[in-house]
Amino acid sequence: MLFKNVTLLDTKSKSNYYEKKSQEISEPSEDVQIEIKKVLSGKKNPVECSDSGRFFEDEKSLKMHQSKILIFKKKILVINFYDQSGHQTGID
């Protein structure tokens, strides 16, 4: 016999195998997910923000967005620095 190691499956076994395979959930790779986000953003040459993951039309738009994020982060730091009574927290 030429094909010793070949296993021939009956129709029902093949059906069960492919049914199980079709029910498996496959996740696209990270690179594919980024490409999908770029296309769905609708931008010509999208530039991604590393902080928020959003895409912008160009570097200028990205820089404006990043400056807003920086201002927001600074406000949060100031709020966390003072407690409700107006006293500094975390300083002994």
Burial 3-29 (b: 16+ CB within 10 A, else e): eeeeeeeeeeeeeeeeeeeeeeeeeee
Range 2-14 average pLDDT? 65
Q: What is the pLDDT of residue 63?
A: 92
Element (DSSP H or E) covering residue 51: none
Evaluate whether 66 touches 59 at the Cβ level (below 8 Å). no
Q: What is the pLDDT of residue 4?
A: 54
pLDDT digits (tens, 9 = 90+) for 43-53: 888 888 888 88
CB under 8 A, 24+ apart: contacts of 25-30: none
pLDDT digits (tens, 9 = 90+) for 65-83: 989 888 888 777 777 766 5
